[in-house]
Amino acid sequence: MTVDEAIAAQQKEPRKIMMDVYTDWCGPCKLLDKRTFQNKDVVQYINKNYYAVKFNAEGDSEVNYKGKKFINPNYDPKRKGKRNSNHQFANYLRVQGYPSIVFFDEKSDLIVPLTGFLNPQQLELYLKLFIEDGHKKIATKEDFENYQKDFKPAFKG
């Protein structure tokens, strides 16, 4: 799904959004695709609970979010597969590196961008934390460390 399609789908059936923010040249992004996003437990859980969005942070798509239009005015089609300019939407979300997985709530409000490769079990921790709104109960670093310590992953590697 695109960002716009996921936001439109939320109007009919509210769900959280999980957005994979990648670039064409990013090796860890390809690894995330291959090792995590093709894991059958991950796929089943995301498809059941989230709208899944794939977003090229250096692409030329147009995104309409919260009444604003985001584009990539400096996108150069001749640089396909190489570093290109950052998309305004990636900047708006404060994406710091690639890959990033960005979570939004049922009203399309940003929950958090997570930067870096996550294996299926690492991603599972966040998928379940956000789907159950557990993040709203975490106020300190210690709270999160306790959540991590008590978490029992069920996804197979």
What residues contact residue 81 under an 8 Å CB cut-off, 6+ apart?
24, 25
Query: What are the pLDDT digits (tens) for 115-151?
Result: 999 999 999 999 999 999 999 999 999 999 999 999 9
* Closest residue by Cα to residue 59 from 33, 94, 35, 26: 26
pLDDT at 1 over 80: yes
Mean pLDDT of the chain: 96
Identify the pLDDT of residue 91: 97
How far is it, in rounded angstroms, from Cα 62 to Cα 133? 30
What average pLDDT score do residues 52-75 get?
97
Spell out the domain ranges in the chain.
Answer: 3-150
Instruction: Please identify, in words, the CATH class of the domain defined by 3-150.
Output: alpha beta
157 confidence band (pLDDT: 50, 70, 90): confident
Identify the pLDDT of residue 80: 81
Query: What are the pLDDT digits (tens) for 2-37?
Result: 999 999 999 999 999 999 999 999 999 999 999 999
